[in-house]
Amino acid sequence: MFKLSELVRWLGLTEFEILLNLCGLLMFTITLSLKISGALNNIALDVKSDWFAVFSPLFFIDIFNAYFCVIVGIRMYLDSDNKRKALNRFMWSTYFLVLIAIFKYLLCLKLSGKTGLEYSEVFSPIFVLLQLVAVRACQLPNSI
């Protein structure tokens, strides 16, 4: 298992962002289980539950995470002497959030039947993100 410090370095996320994503994943798991069991249709009487409603906690977490990253990026840029480090962190967070959001959107479209994309095309943002994480992990100094 990875330590929290390793995950923070490799993923480029702070502990708060990881906690935020875990909370969103918990809410998503609850709505997914309600959707699969059919109870979500009974709870929301007039609202037809589609996959975008199920994935909405994850999309909200992406919005909160983007807001947090913009604030941190601006503060790092204004407060630090190393402007390049601030820009690198902001760009990494932007790549991470955009690729994850595109994956979630394509997955919602695929599950709803609104697109004819294959699953390999839907998962392509994740493949790109995994390559970026691998490159980032190789560039970081090895400190055990």
The mean pLDDT values, 10 residues at a time, for the chain of 144 residues are 80 85 94 83 60 91 92 87 84 91 94 90 95 84 62
The per-residue pLDDT for 84 is 86
Query: Has residue 60 been placed in a domain?
Result: yes
Domain encompassing residue 129 = 4-139
Query: Has residue 144 been placed in a domain?
Result: no
Query: Has residue 40 been placed in a domain?
Result: yes
Query: Has residue 61 been placed in a domain?
Result: yes
Contact 35, 54 (CB under 8 A): yes
- Total domains present in the chain: 1
Cα torsion for 122, 109, 113, 130, to the nearest 10°?
Answer: 20
Nearest by Cα to 129 from 97, 105, 104? 97
Does this model's pTM top 0.85?
no
